Amino acid sequence: MTVFGVIALGLCLLSTGSIWLYMRKQASAIDQSSTQPLPEKTTRRSFMLLWLSSLIVSALFIRQQITVSTGLDFGFYNTFAISSCLISALAFTLSVFRPIYYLGLIILPSSALSIAMSMGFNQSKILTTVPSLGMQAHILFSIIAFSLLCLAAVQAVLNYIQEANLRHYNSSSLLRALPSLQENDSNLFQLIILGVLMLTLALASGFTFLDNLFAQHLLHKTILSCLAWLVFVVLLFGRKQFGWRGRTATHWTSLGFSFLIIAYFGSKFVLELILQRV
C-alpha cells in the first residue's frame, strides 16, 4: 500500500462528497428559490480543486505502480486504474466547459475502487518494449474513445433515471439539481459524437499500423470494436432521422458500450485473472 494511493483514494471520496453536498445545496435552493440563493461559484471551485488534486495524486500513484525494474506493469488492475483515472480526468476537463460535473458522483468512486484494487491485488504483465509511434497513436485514440463512450454510458443511465422519475412525478433532491433532461440529452449525443470520432480514428490507426488486426489474439477485439462502432453510428443515424432519445438512446448506448468494454477488458480479465496467463 503506497502513500500516494491512500491519499488519492481519500481525495476521490472527498471530491465525491463535495459534489454531492453542492448538488444538495442546489436542490435546496431550487425548492426555496424565493428565499435562498443558488450556491456560489466558490463552492463549485472547491470541489473542482479537490477533483484536480485527486487526479494529480492518482497520476503519481499510477506512475509509481506501473514502473518496475524490468519495464512497465500493465496488469489487469493497473490497467483498470489507468482507465478509470483517465475517464475521471476527461470528465473533469469537460466539466470546466459544460455543467456535467455530476458525472463525478459515479466516476470518482469508480476511480477510488480501481486504486484500491490496484493497491490490494498483484497481477503483473510487464511491457519491456516501447511501441512504435503509430501504435502509440492507436492506443491513445482507443483510450480516449473508451473514456468518452464510458461517460456517454453513464450519462445515458442518468437520463433514463431522470426520465423515469419525471414520468412518475417523483424526483429526488439530487435529480432536481441536474440540468434539464433536454440539456442532458444534448450532452449525451455530444459525448457519443466525440466518442465515435475517436473510435473511428482508433480503428483506422489499428488497420494502418498493426500488422494483422484479425490475428487470433486480436480478432475478438477487432470484431467487438467494429460492432460497437456500428451500434453508435446507427444510434446517431436514428437520432438524426427519427429523433431517437430517452430510453431508445439509453438502450443503444448501453449495447454499444457493452461491446466496447468486453473488447477492451474481457480478454484481459479471462487471460490474466481466470486462466492466469500473463
Question: What's residue 14's pLDDT?
Answer: 96
* Helix pair 3-31, 41-66: axis angle to 10 deg: 160
Question: What's residue 272's pLDDT?
Answer: 59
Query: Residue 71: beta bridge partners?
Result: 68
**Are both 221 and 121 inside the same structural domain?**
no
**Are both 243 and 264 inside the same structural domain?**
yes
> Domain residues for 248?
130-278
| Half-sphere exposure in the Cβ direction for 219 (13 Å, CA) | 3
Under a CB-based contact definition with an 8 Å cutoff, are residues 53 and 7 in contact? no
CA distances to 53, 115, 203 from 59, rounded to whole Å, are 10, 11, 27
Of 106, 129, 152, which residue constitutes the final position of a domain? 129
CA distances to 45, 72, 94, 230 from 117, rounded to whole Å, are 29, 18, 26, 33
Of 74, 96, 129, which residue constitutes the final position of a domain? 129
Phi, psi (5° rounding) for residue 68? -125, 170
Of 129, 148, 174, which residue constitutes the final position of a domain? 129
Question: What's residue 167's pLDDT?
Answer: 78
Q: Give the residue among 150, 259, 140 at the shortest CA–CA distance from 195.
A: 150
Phi, psi (5° rounding) for residue 275? -85, -10
Within 10 Å of residue 62's Cβ, how many Cβ atoms? 22
Report the sign of the C-alpha dihedral through residues 136, 262, 123, 105, in that order. Answer: positive
**Are both 111 and 239 inside the same structural domain?**
no
**Are both 170 and 67 inside the same structural domain?**
no
Instruction: Specify the number of domains making up the chain.
Output: 2
Question: What's residue 4's pLDDT?
Answer: 93
Within 10 Å of residue 267's Cβ, how many Cβ atoms? 15
pTM for the model: 0.88
For residues 129 and 10, what is the distance between their CA atoms, to the nearest angstrom? 34
**Are both 2 and 109 inside the same structural domain?**
yes
DSSP 8-state secondary structure symbol assigned to residue 68: E
Question: What's residue 94's pLDDT?
Answer: 93
The residue whose grid cell reads 472547491 is: 46
Residue type, 154: V
**Are both 208 and 224 inside the same structural domain?**
yes
Query: In tens digits, what is the pLDDT along the chain, a chain of 278 residues?
Result: 589 999 999 999 999 999 999 888 887 777 665 445 555 666 788 899 999 999 999 999 999 988 876 767 777 888 889 999 999 999 999 999 888 999 999 999 999 999 999 998 866 666 656 677 878 888 889 989 999 999 999 999 999 998 888 877 666 667 778 888 899 999 999 999 999 999 999 999 888 877 665 555 567 888 899 999 999 999 999 999 999 998 999 999 999 999 999 988 876 666 556 655 55
Under a CB-based contact definition with an 8 Å cutoff, are residues 102 and 19 in contact? yes
The residue whose grid cell reads 489499428 is: 206
